[in-house]
Structure 1
């Protein structure tokens, strides 16, 4: 039985259309990793500030002479670390990682859901059914995780650390599912080659 129906486009055109999916999905995988990198950098901006604040509490007061003049001394290791982290944080802030991560996540959610639903609808229109299996279920799971991670954003913007950690955990699971889809997707590509009549 052919996986691809005979349509006005012909077998080989439908085969090419179906083979565009791995390219799109590969792009979404790399974009997911890029969005994760941007999010990690934004997290570093926040955690570096927390580290600086903690180190500032460890700085001993500057000694003063009986006249009240500060005694000049070499910076302590803690003060040097504060200076280093402050410079790093300034550089991170220049990267606008918060806005870039938010924008990347929004684009990923929009295109990802479109591709996930569109892929299923495309398969159903061509064959009259869906093919339950690891690839379909992983794709559904990825779509749900995108939505769940995005739903945490309002709480994250209010400083909820639990929501932030859950957002990271959901997206880490998402990447694992995405990577798991590669071998199952390759199997589907081979079936497309097997059942497509090329010119």
Structure 2
């Protein structure tokens, strides 16, 4: 009320004087002789008094504008001191326990989904590496002697060596892995993890702000931020991995391993925050 009263009192000051002629009397202008005027390069027609009054009035008006704007905004600056606090029921159910429990439920689900996605990725890597093992073993197999017609020499066929048995075993294993379509499943799972992970990472911080009006810098917030960044970096390596870059594949595995470790480190701090949610929030 005090701020509004001060505003009204300030607004009572007129921007322009009611009668400008009361402040400025019309000056009497005397014409100089033509000879003197020519020597002084003085124009024969001096400015009219009315033009002088108009220019002076506009100048005074511009000088009073900052004062008027200050008077208008001053009460709003005083009354907005608590506007940044997003609490006291302003957001309704968004401040309640139901909305607050979405983040921990989704994130614990994403933790197990991360492990599943990693398993799919490792199986797809096994499909690629097992073929490389087969190619290396084939180099160790001695060729079977053949006749000029291309037929094996009778009696020259040796029993299957351990290397050949290993090749057969790996070949059968690779066939079974290919049936699992691990490449496509890993790609789809990674896309889901990236989308929902980033969405809920931002949503968790937003929920904290809605309930408390601020964020709490600490291990949980920093680890969550690092996890989100690692998700983005891992996804950015996919084009290079598809082109066969071993460096990109190694970095992809490294980033996701760190991601899992950070996820595990968040479990204790996340549980503490969950207990505070039950303590300071109400249903719904």
TM-score, normalised to structure 1, is 0.91
Which residue does 2:233 correspond to in 1? Answer: 148
Give the length in aligned residue pairs: 194
Which residue does 2:139 correspond to in 1? Answer: 57
Mapped pair 1:101 → 2:215: no
- What is the CA–CA distance in structure 2 between the aligned matches of 1:32 and 1:198, rounded to whole Å? 30
Check 1:139–1:58 CA distance in 2 against 1; reply closer, same or farther (3 A cut).
same
Mapped pair 1:18 → 2:100: yes
- Partner deviation per Cα, 1:14-48 (whole Å, 9 max, x = no partner): 12321232211111001100110000000000000
Mapped pair 1:82 → 2:164: no
RMSD: 2.0
Which residue does 2:221 correspond to in 1? Answer: 136
- What is the CA–CA distance in structure 2 between the aligned matches of 1:10 and 1:88, rounded to whole Å? 52
Alignment partner of 2:177 out of 89, 92, 106: 92
Give 1:66 deviation, angstroms: 8.5
Does structure 1 conserve the Cα–Cα contact (< 8 Å) formed by 2:124 and 2:182? yes
List gaps (5 residues or longer) in structure 2.
1-85
Which residue does 1:37 correspond to in 2? Answer: 119
Give 1:10 deviation, angstroms: 8.6
- Partner deviation per Cα, 1:126-165 (whole Å, 9 max, x = no partner): 3221111111110000000000000000000000001000
Structure 1 counterpart SS, 2:93: coil
List gaps (5 residues or longer) in structure 1.
none
- What is the CA–CA distance in structure 1 between the aligned matches of 2:178 and 2:280, rounded to whole Å? 53
The answer to which structure, 1 or 2, has the higher relative contact order (CA under 8 A, 6+ apart) is 1
Structure 1 counterpart SS, 2:222: helix
Check 1:136–1:39 CA distance in 2 against 1; reply closer, same or farther (3 A cut).
same
Mapped pair 1:9 → 2:103: no
Q: Which has the higher helix share?
A: 1
Give 1:105 deviation, angstroms: 0.3
- What is the CA–CA distance in structure 1 between the aligned matches of 2:125 and 2:233, rounded to whole Å? 19
